[in-house]
Amino acid sequence: MSHSSPPVRRVTDWDFGRLSALADEHGTPLYVLDTNRVANNYERFAGAFDDAHVMYAAKAHTGRAVLETLLDAGADIECAAAGELQRAIEAGADPDTLQYTAVNPPAGDLDYAAELGAEHPGLTVTGGARDTFDRLEARGYDGRVAIRVNPGIGTGHHEKVATGKDAKFGIPYDEVPALATELRDRFELVGLHAHMGSGVLGEDMDDHCRAIAKVADLARAVGDADLAFVDFGGGFGVPYRESEEPLDMAVVAERVADAVGDLAATVKLEPGRYVVADAEVILTRVNTVKETPATTVVGVDASLATLIRPAMFDSYHPMANVSAPDRETEPVSVGGPCCTSADVFCTDRPIARPEREDLLAIGNAGAYGYELANQFHSQPRPAEVALSGGESRVVRRRETVADVTRVEREARTAPADRTGRGTTPTADGAGEE
């Protein structure tokens, strides 16, 4: 595999001429995904961790174009919900290679996983609560399981993603050995799993590796020779701010290896954000420029319905004026059309001075961007275009208001679907009504 692509792609590294042409052709707001960058990021990561089993954490971006790209690159898929299992299968994943990390799973999700596991015994279900294993057993499931461990150490860019110390996630560390003994009599216990947090950069790596060492010690205590794998999750960050440096994955791989130590079981890793974050941008058009005593307010057609991360996590996303990158910079506040003060992408950010009809690019939108897009204010979700070399194709059409209201209209005549999945995927990816 080739690992020669640069370790970070800044918003200013995109071809502004091409972005302008895409915005003219497809309208705005518009997600633009570079599938070559997705593949390059995966290959760089997998090349650094060549002794590990690398799985893509689908929750970062479940778009079919992303999943197909990664499956073609040789990645396996880790899913955090039954819908992600279905989407992975529809994209071409072998169900026997999938790993399902169940977090307080709804009944329908467990029904689906149990049925899938009966047909595909290679499926692994990871449970983070005793209840989850009891509920699986009640459904007749006796296949491959892993225990999600709560190591009591959380890392990452925001307290809402520091899963390693959040009681919602995983079995308390000290309870795992007894549970492992119990589960070996009820299922095929194949692994331990942990996830410490998301967006790990710089000094966060110290705590991340400390948690890895703690989970590795636990694996040895419960008998790592009897486990197929120990999964240390993902969480590896990418630089969103211009001042942040990218991770040196060769150095990170050495630190992780030191933290793991000798382990008979295979090491699994689940990058998500690292693979897709800098592979996508959002294009948005300026519609309003308002001078106020406090700041210059720049209104755009994207909103927190397009990208909710700044409102939800106070996340920083780099921005650039695609139409006039060489114009003199000016501190501006950029926000969308939603009737809430939370609908702001930046405040007093120096940007090449925007004017009405200018095209702006919002960078690092690939991780949890479209995944968290919503229909607040009855706004249709945007289109998404995928680039592959010199080619481009629409991989999600732009929604209309008719799409927003479709489920209400159909509710008058359609039978109720309690699963939310609609169709049942077969192993070859086809859907059956």
pLDDT tens per residue across span 185-221? 999 999 999 988 777 887 788 888 999 999 999 999 9
Distance set, CA 137 to CA 112, 113, 114, 418 (Å): 14, 12, 9, 22
- Which tens digits make up the pLDDT trace of 349-362? 999 999 999 999 99
pTM of the shown model: 0.92
What class, spelled out in words, does domain 35-276 have in CATH? alpha beta
Cα-to-chain-centroid distance, residue 221: 31
Q: In the prediction, which pLDDT does 156 show?
A: 42
Q: Among this protein's residues, is 339 annotated catalytic? A: yes
Given a cut of 70, the residues of the chain with pLDDT beneath it are 1-4, 154-166, 421-433
List the catalytic residue out of 79, 209, 338, 339. 339
Ordered by start, the domain boundaries in the chain are 35-276, 278-401
Q: Which fold has domain 278-401?
A: Lyase, Ornithine Decarboxylase; Chain A, domain 1 (2.40.37)
Q: In the prediction, which pLDDT does 329 show?
A: 97
> CA-to-CA distance for 289 and 269, rounded, in angstroms?
46
Cβ-proximal residues to 392 (8 Å cutoff; 6+ apart), any chain = 22, 385, 386
- Which tens digits make up the pLDDT trace of 382-402? 999 999 989 999 999 999 999
Distance set, CA 41 to CA 9, 48, 55, 58, 365 (Å): 10, 11, 13, 15, 15
- Answer yes or no: are the C-beta atoms of 58 and 84 closer than 8 Å: yes
Q: Is the peptide bond before 29 cis (omega within 30 degrees of 0)?
A: yes
- Answer yes or no: are the C-beta atoms of 164 and 150 closer than 8 Å: yes
Q: In the prediction, which pLDDT does 202 show?
A: 73
- Answer yes or no: are the C-beta atoms of 196 and 207 closer than 8 Å: yes
Taking residue 337's Cβ as centre, other Cβ atoms within 10 Å add up to 16
Q: In the prediction, which pLDDT does 104 show?
A: 93
| Three state DSSP letters for the chain | CCCCCCCCCCHHHCCHHHHHHHHHHHCCCEEEEEHHHHHHHHHHHHHHCCCCEEEEEHHHCCCHHHHHHHHHCCCEEEECCHHHHHHHHHCCCCHHHCEEEECCCCHHHHHHHHHHHHHCCCCEEEECCHHHHHHHHHCCCCCEEEEEEECCCCEECCHHHCHHHCCCCCEEHHHHHHHHHHHHCCCEEEEEECCCEECECCCHHHHHHHHHHHHHHHHHHHCHHHCCEEECCCCECCCCCCCCCCCCHHHHHHHHHHHHCCCCCEEEECCCHHHHHHHEEEEEEEEEEEECCCCEEEEECCCCCCCCHHHHHCCCCCEEECCCCCCCEEEEEEECCCCCCCCEEEEEEEEECCCCCCEEEECCCCCCCHHHCCCHHHCCCCEEEEEECCEEEEEECCCCHHHHHHHHHHHCCCCCCCCCCCCEECCCCCEEC
